[in-house]
Chain A
Amino acid sequence: MNRFLRDELDIDDLLFMDLPPITRRSALASIGGGLGSLGMISALGQNGGILTKPHFAPRAKRVIHLFMNGGPFGPDFFDPKPSLTKYAGQRPEGADLRTERPTGGLMEVSYKYANHGQSGLSISELLPMTAKHADDLCILRSCYTDNPNHGPALLLMNNGTMTPRVPSMGAWTSYGLGNENADLPGYVVLCPGKPVRFSILWNSAFLPAKHAGLYVNHSNLDPNSMIPWLKDPAGKPGEQRKRLDLMQLLNREHAKVRGGTDPRLEGRIEAMETAYRMQFSAHDAFDVNQENAATREAYGEGHFANGCLLARRMAERGVRFTQVYYGNGQPWDTHSGHDKKTRALAKDIDRPIAALLEDLKQRGMLEDTLVVWGGEFGRTPVSENADGRDHNPHGFCMWMAGGGVKGGYAYGASDEFGFKAVDKPMHVHDLHATILHLLGVDHERLTYEHAGRDYRLTDVHGVVAKDILA
């Protein structure tokens, strides 16, 4: 990045973060001739992002990332592999890839597949409700990653490298595009517990701290338990406003006595007001009880259903990037008892996903909301512990929906056994490049200078999968 621009940005971050545009303008005016250069104004962007305008016309304005932590097996759902039945128990040529743990022969997928929608996409019987949205899904059958361990793979999927020192995708998005809602953070992470590696997965690293994901444990649905310090525990209505009125009176006098030229003083006065409003707006945003019975019924019950519903509420309010982790730890990590666990997991996600897609569509939001589904890697077609499946970085499935991707489309292919991506292999860097592209961002041009070089989400890699763009 241009050094001049970076300097301007630091000032921007210092002065104007999270303030509504009107305040930024007035603060700018109050700085006078000193900092009010053209570069400064352009660095402010529209919504507090570094980019004054996207690099291309965005197809998606926001992202909802449904994260199946632990790693699901694509051929259970979206990638039929009859050869697994044919060669069950054997390890034919092509199925002899190295696995992390000792593994046996190929293990059959017994779930029946059918073609769905006008597109005729093949989806297994485990996801009957999701299958009704086949024509919205863009299935990615050729994803692959670099490491078969959860930690590094989670980091690669979230942060674009396997070492825990760089910002996450959500933080980059918030940094680049800002937020559509001044009263909420630009990046929200929902998990009913803690995924492995925890907060490093949504950190902002060297980007300004405001871009870090707001982690919300939604296992308790009371908004006051989800957002820290959202409520004055002992407060009576009206008292808080009186305190704030006095504080702001004193703060304004304090700023005035000092010449009225320090925009940080004004900035904090505004942040106090934003915080005051957030008590209601964030409470409102995170309160699923405001949904009517029909909607609650449509999403169904359970943490994941609540997560999906909350994600829609975030998207609706302009949160740029929302992640919903399926659960605490790594629930999709089925090293044994794969069939039983997979059936239960599938049942738990099917209804909420279908409801989310339907809900977004009905609200006219699916077209500019990108929904992404997947884990940090996939699982092996060969068995582990007789009835489990091991980690598989060589090839796995994800899907996208809405936000400018082709619906009813399957991209790329894995080998005969679903072991390795073979046709149009899509590395995680390519996935990131594509997601940014859909948001109108050139992944090579969203950079940040740190420790002597320009960093970006995709490091020095990443190719946009143009075939999947609608």
Chain B
Amino acid sequence: MQKFRLACVTVIVVFLTAGTAVAKDEKERPWAFRPLLKSDVPSVKNTSWPKKRIDYFILAELEKADVKPSPKADERILARRLNFDLIGLPPTEIENFSADAEIEKLLGNPQYGERWARHWLDLTRYTDTTASWLNSTAGAWRYRDWVIDALNVDMPYPDFVKRQLATDLMSETGPEDSVALGFLGLSPMYWKELQLPPEIIKTTVADEWEERVDALGRTFLGLTLACARCHDHKSDPITAADYYALAGVFASVKITDRPMMSEDLWLPVKSARQKVAVIDKKVAALKKKKPKPENLDEQLAVFTAEIAAMKKATPHYDMPMANGVVEAALFVKAKEKGHGTNLEFQEGKGRDLELQKRGDPNDVGDVVPRRFLSVFPSENGEPRRFEKGSGRLELAEALIEDSEPLFARVIVNRVWKQHFGRGLVDTPSDFGKMGDKPTHPELLDDLAARFMQNGWSLKWLHREILGSATWQQTSVAPGSEAADSDNRLYSRMNRLRLDIESWRDSVLAVAGSLDSKIGGEPMDLNSDKNNRRTLYGKINRRDLNKILQIHDFPDPTAHSPKRAETISPLQSLFAINGPLVQSQSEAFAKQIKGDVDVISRAYELLFQREPSAMEREVGGEFLKEATLADYARVLLASNEFLYVD
């Protein structure tokens, strides 16, 4: 991981002030495209309830609707909620609990990065393996680990984004940071049969560009930019020219492995690897040769020695490679001889695209110079032009500076949604007209502005939300359900279901089996030796692991804004018959065997509470005829272990 942190970007918050003179055209823009609205803290009647600024905004709306907030959750519930939320694991002890101290402790725990990295990877369509015809993706996991580290060191969000788009073009970062480019380098690639004519291949290539624009727009801006590939966006102020101005950036990069060391170390390695590849080919040919040469073993030994010598003589021969991109403009051309297509990459160059009429790459109009969206002009009043290489760095800077309010709102809303189970805008990747409107627009803007002022620190944002009275309400509040049935007013906390990662990790953790090593190569989730966190389970985009698939894990071929929450019998079969619960029940039983009061001990480990009289009685009855492992199977698959109050 990088040894330094970038200085916080200078924050210039442009505020619109409610009630004062506002430029007319600003007011007419759809809400998401306006500057952040500055509001005073709303006045509330119940002044003893709010703990954080957030709470005033929430309480004001509650009071308007004449709904009371729910009581604060007890310490045990808060401890569980905080642990699952921030690190995805159950608490181990709740003696001397203080919510603020617990939040600090958990934010300092590297398991925080593991937990929250997965939320980011849902957006970036992370996969450990891509199609077999592509370059090696053996280094994909380094991108995953980069995200974990970046979150743990609380990298300011603009840097976090800029590096994922353009770290190779930044003077502040070196080649070891090129793993950050996994956001682009692990993009889905579609098969291009080069025996086909360029008209067909152009369509496939254009589909890839669309995928990139879609991921970019939805991840960073909450905008469905890809809609503008065929026509001006039907509901948002995005034109087809805007689309091609951005797509040109992706037409100017090539997905490839990148060395993680400096050029002078890399060049000899590159040359040595090419030589070894030539020898490898000779070895393969030799092995295939028929009849088998008599001195085959001797010949092979010579080659083997040659390779070994080459590796030994080349420092850093096994230099790690990152899945990234390089600057290269792609032109799809007909082969000069015979039929078929050439993909011509002009290294180091960028290119502008022609506007494709109705999205048809074989019916093009005028060239659209690469630039940012026209709805977000830069300081000079024109959309920022992208003129250096592919324009990735300028694109990142435009996202951060020219569309700053939206850029901030989108990430603040994502974090909010993760904590509450519902977004202030509940379509977290669509802030356009087709998406949901914010339930608390002033709160969203206020929080976004303060997030920026506080150095775009995600950990600051977590503290602000988790420390609020709003978040710390109980989820068991039947009284509030009548008045605020879908909890749009936040009159109670939502009960949250553990996702597959947290559930599996928690099963391993309470059984004492969890391997808490951070980072490294992925491992097959089906392996009975895999006791690592689920985050490290191998993800194959083209053949998603079945455990993940049935548990609402998102399809890694596209940006996924939110996880579905389904309840299915296949999940239940996995819980009652699958190897995970079965093996971990054995481990759990071993752990508590010999305890004078196994029932109490089990409830302590799983739920951090004493069993009720009823639970003690039925558990005792059950254990008369069944083993402790059987009992553990029941508790691990129970609802209480899956739902967090």
Out of A14, A101, A261, A452, which one reaches B434, CB within 8 Å?
A452
Residue of A nearest to B193 (CB): A149
B191 touches A149 (CB 8 A): yes
Please report which residues of chain B, range 92-143, place their CB below 8 angstroms from some CB of chain A when the two chains form the complex. none
| Chain B 446-505 residues near chain A, CB threshold 8 A | 475-476, 478, 481-482, 485-486, 495, 497
CA distance A250 to B607 in the complex (A): 13
Chain B neighbourhood of A200, CB < 8 A: 542, 557
**B576 in contact with A275 (CB, 8 Å):** yes
- Of residues 210 through 244 on chain A, the ones whose CB sits less than 8 Å from some CB of chain B are 210, 212, 214, 227-235, 239-240, 242-244
Contact B207 A452, beta carbon cutoff 8 Å: no
- Closest Cβ of chain A to B345, distance in Å, is 21
Q: Is the CB of B197 within 8 A of A98?
A: yes
Q: Is the CB of B576 within 8 A of A246?
A: no
Q: Across the interface, which residues of B come within 8 angstroms of A253, CB to CB? A: 612, 614-615
Q: Please state if A246 and B557 are interface contacts (CB–CB under 8 Å).
A: no
Question: How far does the alpha carbon of A135 sit from the alpha carbon of B496 in the complex, in Å?
Answer: 57
Q: Which stretch of A29-37, A67-75, A294-302, A395-403 is in the interface?
A: A29-37
Give the docked Cα–Cα distance between A77 and B565 (Å).
Answer: 47
A261 touches which one: B218, B481, B544, B555 (CB < 8 A)?
B481
Q: Which of B531-560 contact A (CB under 8 A)?
A: 542-544, 546, 549-550, 552, 555, 557-558
Which of A33, A209, A232, A259 contacts B576 (CB under 8 A)? A232
Return the contact of A34 from the options B195, B235, B482, B630 (Cβ within 8 A): B482
- CB of B22 within 8 Å of the partner chain: no
Q: Does B55 contact A (CB under 8 A)?
A: no
**Is the beta-carbon distance between B574 and A271 smaller than 8 angstroms?**
no
B577 in contact with A232 (CB, 8 Å): yes
Of B261-269, B346-354, B633-641, the segment with at least 4 beta carbons within 8 Å of chain A is B633-641
For B614, the chain A residues whose CB sits under 8 A away are 253
Cα(A276)–Cα(B542), bound, Å: 31
8 A Cβ contacts from A267-287 to B: 267-269, 271-272, 274-276, 278-279
CB–CB A165/B567 < 8 A: no
Within 8 A of A (CB), among B605-635: 612, 614-615, 618-619, 622, 625-626, 630-631, 633-635
Which listed residue, B203, B549, B555, B572, touches A271 by the CB 8 Å rule?
B572
Q: Are B564 and A208 in contact (CB under 8 A)?
A: yes
Q: Is A254 an interface residue (CB 8 A)?
A: yes
A244 to B630, CA, bound (A): 10
The interface residues of chain A lying within 8 Å CB-to-CB of B571 are: 271
Q: Are A264 and B643 in contact (CB under 8 A)?
A: yes
A385 within 8 Å of B (CB atoms): no
Contact, CB under 8 Å: B572 / A265: no
Cβ-defined contact, A242 with B626, below 8 A: yes
Pairwise interchain contact B626-A268, C-beta atoms closer than 8 A: no
Is B598 among interface residues, defined by CB-CB distance under 8 A? no
Contact of B211 among A3, A165, A271 (CB under 8 A): A165
A423 at interface, CB cutoff 8 A: no
Contact A34 B481 (CB under 8 A): yes
> In this complex, what residue of B is CB-closest to A204?
B555
Instruction: Determine the residue in chain B with the shortest Cβ distance to A214.
Output: B570
> Using a Cβ–Cβ cut-off of 8 Å, how many residues does chain A contribute to the interface with B?
81
The residue that B550 contacts in the complex, of A209, A231, A257, with Cβ under 8 A, is: A209
CB distance from B422 to the nearest CB of A (A): 11
Range, interface on chain B: 35 or more
* B9-53 interface bits toward A, Cβ cutoff 8 Å, 1 = contact, 0 = none: 000000000000000000000000000000000000000000000
**CB of B518 within 8 Å of the partner chain:** no
Cα distance A470–B485 in the bound complex, in angstroms? 49
Which residues of the other chain, A, contact B567 by a CB distance below 8 angstroms? 14-15, 17-18, 264, 267-268, 271
A268 vs B188: C-alpha distance in the bound complex, in angstroms? 35
A156 to B137, CA, bound (A): 27
A199-B543, A275-B576 given; A208·B634 CB < 8 A: no
Residues on A with beta carbons closer than 8 Å to the beta carbon of B630: 239, 243
Instruction: Indicate which residue in B197, B577, B631, B639 contacts A231 across the interface (CB closer than 8 Å).
Output: B577
A278 and B569 in contact, given A35-B485, A151-B191 (Cβ under 8 angstroms): yes
Tell me whether B380 is interfacial, beta carbon within 8 Å: no
- Chain A residue nearest to B546 (CB atoms) is A228
Q: How far is the CB of A203 from chain B (nearest CB, A)?
A: 6
Q: Write the chain B residue with the least CB distance to A185.
A: B570
Q: Is A57 an interface residue (CB 8 A)?
A: no
Chain B residue contacts of A227, Cβ below 8 A: 573
The CA of A210 and the CA of B566, in the complex, are separated in Å by 7
Enumerate chain B residues within 8 angstroms of A453, measured Cβ to Cβ: 224, 227, 234, 434
Interface residues of B in 185-236 (CB under 8 A from A): 188, 190-191, 193, 195-197, 200, 203-204, 207, 211, 214, 218, 224, 226-227, 233-236
CA distance A308 to B203 in the complex (A): 37
Q: Tell whether A348 is near chain B: CB-to-CB under 8 Å.
A: no
Name the distance in Å between A54's Cβ and chain B's nearest Cβ: 24
Interfacial chain B residues near A101, Cβ < 8 Å = 195
B430 on interface, CB distance cutoff 8 Å? yes
Is A367 an interface residue when CB atoms closer than 8 A count as contact? no
Interface string of A247-267 (1 = CB under 8 A from B): 101110111011101101101
Which A residues lie within 8 Å of B195 (CB)? 100-101
Does chain A have a CB within 8 A of B429?
yes
Q: Residues of A contacting B207 with CB < 8 Å? A: 162-163
Q: Is A147 an interface residue (CB 8 A)?
A: yes
Q: Are A210 and B568 in contact (CB under 8 A)?
A: yes
Q: Complex formed: what's the CA distance from A452 to B235 in Å?
A: 9
Q: Considering the chains assembled together, what is the distance between the CA atoms of A271 and B568 in angstroms?
A: 6
Contact B482–A32 (Cβ < 8 Å): yes
Q: For the complex, give the distance between the alpha carbons of A235 and B582 in Å.
A: 10
A262: nearest chain-B partner, CB-CB? B495
> Can you list 22 contacts pairing A with B, beta carbon distance less than 8 Å?
A14-B566, A34-B481, A35-B486, A162-B190, A162-B207, A164-B190, A194-B543, A204-B555, A205-B555, A205-B558, A209-B549, A228-B570, A228-B578, A230-B577, A232-B576, A243-B626, A243-B633, A253-B612, A264-B497, A269-B639, A275-B570, A451-B226
Enumerate chain B interface residues (CB-CB to A < 8 A): 188, 190-191, 193, 195-197, 200, 203-204, 207, 211, 214, 218, 224, 226-227, 233-236, 339, 429-430, 432, 434-435, 475-476, 478, 481-482, 485-486, 495, 497, 542-544, 546, 549-550, 552, 555, 557-558, 564-579, 582, 612, 614-615, 618-619, 622, 625-626, 630-631, 633-635, 637-640, 642-643, 645
Besides A13-B566, A234-B582, A246-B631, 5 more A-B contacts (Cβ < 8 Å) are: A100-B193, A209-B549, A258-B495, A264-B497, A268-B567
The 5 closest A-B pairs by CB, nearest first: A34-B485, A452-B224, A275-B572, A259-B478, A275-B569
